[in-house]
Amino acid sequence: MNKSIFIITAVIFFLSCNKGFDRLLDKNNYEDTTGIVAKTPKVLFLVMDGARGEAVRKAQAPNLQMMSDHAIYSWNSISDTLYQNATAWADLLTGVHKEKHGVVSGDFSNNHLSAYPVFFKHIKARMPSFRIAAFSAADSLGNTLITDADVNQTFSNNDAAVADAVVKELKVDSVGLIFAQFGEVGAAGKAYGYDANIAEYRAAILQADTYIGNVLTAIKQRPDYAKEDWLVVVTSGNGGPFVLDPGDDDGTILSNTKSNTFTFFYSPRYAPDFIDRPYTGNRYSGKSVRLYGNNAATAVYATIDSGKTDYNLGNNSEATIELKIKKNKTSYGDYSYTYPSVIGNNMSLDWWNNTGWAISLESNGWGLHFGQTGAGFNMATAGSISDGKWHDIAAVFVNRDNKRFLRLFTDGLFNTEADITSYGSFDTDAPLTLGFMPGNVTDNNRWLNAYITEVKFWKAALPDTVISRYVCVPDLPSSHPYKDYLVGYWPCKDGFGGLFSDQSEWDHDFQIHGAYQWDDFSDLMCPASAGNLSQLVPQPVDVARQILNWLQISADTRWDLDGRVWVTSYVTITK
């Protein structure tokens, strides 16, 4: 081989072998853990009754603030909605909700604790010699609920004595799990109010935080602390009544101050993991006109007379009608309506004898009437919108496989599809009407009482994905892929005057009739469901699962626990 060729080949080989070096780990101080000795897991579990999460946050308790550097924590965890101390204690100590443990009153009557016991029993079943100590300020807790503890003492509402007992127990070499319940924060809240600006309530929170600091110090002073792996749980079983600023009330359980708790899962090895208040919907604000009334003389409604034929649907036109609506309660105090019209061109509640289409309310939900004179009562119904909140509803007329279909959506979710091929043309000479339709009105549930905004009429069948993608936006964005197909867009939030102005190129304004007025509104749109929210923040039932997991006890499916385990990263595995 030529010598120069050999040298070039060698250089290329060297460079190619080094090409992957840029993918090596950064030069950090990684630790050799091959010689690490496993530490003994131990648990301190502290409960502060009546400590409203946001109030504790505002009080800036120094020991909790220190713990937040190495904790999974939240100021917006959620308790049971019964607000009973007994129910909260049972949730915390059994790991299941009241529907299972049955503790729904302070006397613990008719409970199911034999089937869903305090989780200490599960620990003892796996580790009989594991030492468990329980100290309760509330005598009823220790005397009625606590079982399977090696030590079980009550202190007649004396939190200081509870704290002293915990510190004393921490001097026992074989300590495994310590449970302690404090009651003076809740007592101060009940007497003075659950507000951190109230001196007595704030002082009680800070005193409880001092107890936390004392027991953390006692843990670190244990002779074998370096060989131990401590999880410290600090939480409250319920909050307390407090009047929120209206702008902070999102209408969900997160704004229920009685259910507002805080939760800390602390370990010196944990990286900080703050569980913030979850998304609960977009804030939707503006001015709108309430549409209501049961006769043409007094009703507030709106019509388009000039250009009305542009909103006929014929017998094969594709179209999408979408709007936002907030139902108000009927005179009976509920949201159940009997077919009042929302928008359409079928000019009577007598659906059997009129041609056209109309979106209307039906009981707790909504639907769309369609057909021709004499064709009978034809309606496709969709989802419920009966909660006093803003909802987005959409009706899509689409042609597919030589047939015509009507598809309905509520808040972006598909509800139903109807084959309407045989119903022919829906054309009429009636005005497009928003709100009141004439007819035989004999019941207050037959006329509309609602706010309607963001009305859109497309001469196109919008795909499901497009409807769901834009359902929670407060206004039509300029980037909407079907904006060029609009033949009408009425935000209905003009805030003044007697028109709902059309912002599409077609320029067909709605004329408002009746004694209308523009009302301010600021509400949530597309709120998250309560079930979803409860999965996004800690709950009392999570504590048992968290502790069992820390103790390396896998949950038996027969225990039927409701809680979940919260995880985070570790700052180091040698600390």
Q: What are the residue ranges spanned by the domains of the chain? A: 40-280+529-559, 283-525
For the cut 60, the answer to whether the pLDDT of residue 80 exceeds it is yes
Helix (H, G, I), strand (E, B) or coil at 408: strand
The proportion of the chain whose per-residue pLDDT surpasses 90, expressed as a percent, equals 70
d(CA 343, CA 323): 9
pLDDT tens figures, 341-395: 899 988 666 655 678 899 998 888 999 988 776 665 588 999 999 888 899 999 9
Least Cα distance to 63 among 163, 192, 133, 137 occurs for 163
Reading the block at residue 515, the tokens are 């004694």
Mean per-residue pLDDT, 88-106: 96
pLDDT in tens, 298-332: 899 999 999 999 999 988 999 999 999 999 988 77
Q: Which residue type is seen at 164? A: D
The angle that helices 199-220 and 184-192 make with each other, rounded to 10 degrees, is: 170
Query: What is d(CA 27, CA 31) in angstroms, rounded to the nearest whole number?
Result: 12
Residue 244's contacts (CB-CB under 8 Å, 6 or more residues apart) are 255, 257
Q: Is residue 514 predicted with pLDDT exceeding 80?
A: yes
pLDDT of 378 reads: 82
As a whole number, the mean pLDDT across the chain is 88
Q: Report the share of the chain in percent with pLDDT over 70.
A: 87
Alpha-carbon gap, residue 266 to 245, rounded angstroms: 31
List C-alpha distances in Å: 301 to 129, 212, 290: 75, 62, 9
* Predicted pLDDT at 572: 61
Distance between CA 392 and CA 410 in Å, rounded? 6
Given a cut of 60, is residue 22 above it in pLDDT? no
Mean pLDDT on 218-239: 97
Q: Which two tokens stand for residue 54?
A: 């946001």
| Residue for token pair 């949201």 | 335
Beta bridge partners of 390: 525
According to CATH, the topology of domain 283-525 is: Jelly Rolls (2.60.120)
Q: Are 40-280+529-559 and 283-525 in the same CATH fold?
A: no
The answer to whether the pTM exceeds 0.75 is no
CATH topology assigned to domain 40-280+529-559: Alkaline Phosphatase, subunit A (3.40.720)
Q: What is the pLDDT of residue 439?
A: 63
pLDDT of residue 1: 47
The amino acid at residue 109 is S
pLDDT higher than threshold 50 for residue 20: no
pLDDT-derived band at 33 (thresholds 50, 70, 90) equals very low
* Cβ neighbours for 29, distance < 8 A, ≥ 6 positions apart: none
Distance CA 23, CA 440 (A): 78
527 — pLDDT class (breaks 50, 70, 90):
low
Amino acid occupying residue 530: A
